[in-house]
Amino acid sequence: MLEITTVGLDLAKNVFQVHGADASGRTELRKKLRRDQVLAFFSQLQPCVVAMEACGGAHYWGREIGRLGHEVRLIPPAYVKPFVKRQKNDAADAEAICEAAQRPTMRFVPVKSEETQGAAMVFRVRELLIRQRTQAINALRGHLTEFGQIVPQGAANAVKLIAIVEEPASGLPADAIGTLKVLVAALTHLEAEIGKLDAEIVRRAKSNEVSRRLMTVPGIGPLIATAIAVLAPPPETFRKARDFAAWLGLVPRQHSTGGKQRLGATTKMGERSLRRLLIIGANSVIIKRHSHAAARPGTWLGGMLTRKPPMLVRVALANKMARIVWALMARGGVYQSPAAAA
């Protein structure tokens, strides 16, 4: 009987590739499976480590295979790539996944539950609707420009665009008004749907104890707090706050050699939605710095604003917010500004 201890599974839509190895890393199995054969195959296999890339559908297969008694490990695709030898194909990918899973220092992604993935959908759908709203606004602005109607950029000016289309005295050609009203209807519908999602996010934030505590941090509102509570891994996944900030991609990219340290722009690794939201939250603090005690002259943020470019300060503040978030999730309590704590 095969002594398989680790299996690398290359996921696909229809044809999956399996690579099995024993404890010494020697290849014991190479096999192709159709989608309807995957669970039957693993149900007959002795409990072992099953590794997959953390890609689309990986969490579903992780849950299903885990129920069969196997230990499931999801690996970020960027960590698998160095193990691919020469040619790129499904068999080579499965072998690389199997080898990567056996490394003692490899980092893995926790398998998400159905509830967690379902709760995260509201943020994914909201992002999609906002992109579509931006496209509709830009299209409407571009078409009106052809008729001499100039409106400033920004979603806040969408009302002006709609008013021009609906104004009989705007001077727009009759043939264009009907088409422009199609964009207006789409924009109005998107605004209404985004409003419904925002209301749902606020409701969830009020009912979630972690979200309520996170909202005590300046720059973090219901949207960011709920997104962190749903999308971020458990705080015990990270040893310290800096590790959480690094997972979010809010630390400098390092390219050091020969004892000389070279730091560049942020790594932009990890969950990009959370990184973007934290930077937006940091930007709101900087914009309203006159009303925030943490941004007064003599404070860390006040000093940074006088010495560094605004974008650099935004990222640095987002990094600090990420560390505070980890501390609140790991240790409990609410945020207290340095001035209040003193």
105-134 per-position pLDDT tens digit: 999 999 999 999 999 999 999 999 999 999
3-state secondary structure of 91: helix
Q: Tell me, what's the pLDDT at 339?
A: 56
The more confidently predicted of residues 170 and 125 is: 125
Q: Are 330 and 248 in a shared domain?
A: yes
Regarding whether 333 and 230 lie in a shared domain, the answer is yes
Judge if 321 and 287 occupy the same domain. Answer: yes
| Mean pLDDT to the nearest integer, 83-98 | 94
Structure confidence at residue 290 (pLDDT)? 65
What domain count does the chain have? Answer: 3
The pLDDT value recorded for residue 209 is: 94
Q: Which of 101, 134, 150 is the last residue of a domain?
A: 101
In a domain, 294, yes or no: yes
Mean pLDDT of 88-114: 94
Residue 259 lies in a domain: no
> What integer is the mean pLDDT of 81-90?
91
H-helix or E-strand spanning residue 197? helix 174-207
Q: Taking a C-beta distance cutoff of 8 angstroms, is the pair 84, 105 a contact? A: no
pTM comes to 0.83
233 & 174 share domain: no
Instruction: Confirm whether 155 is domain-assigned.
Output: yes
Q: Residue 103 is encoded by which pair of tokens?
A: 């490394």
Question: Greater confidence, 177 or 1?
Answer: 177
Q: End-to-end CA distance of the chain: give it in Å, rounded.
A: 67
Specify if 109 maps to a domain.
no
- Is there a single domain that holds both residue 167 and residue 229? no
Q: Are 314 and 227 contained in the same domain?
A: yes
Secondary structure of residue 280 in the 3-state scheme: helix
Q: Rounded to an integer, what distance in angstroms lies between the CA atom of residue 78 and that of residue 88?
A: 14
* Domain end call among 69, 101, 133: 101
Verify that 147 and 178 share a domain, yes or no: yes
The answer to whether 321 and 281 have CB atoms below 8 angstroms apart is yes
Task: Report, as an integer, the average pLDDT of 20-40.
Answer: 95
| Domain span holding position 67 | 6-101
Position 20 in a domain? yes
CA-CA-CA-CA torsion sign (68, 69, 75, 81) = negative
**Is residue 188 domain-resident?**
yes
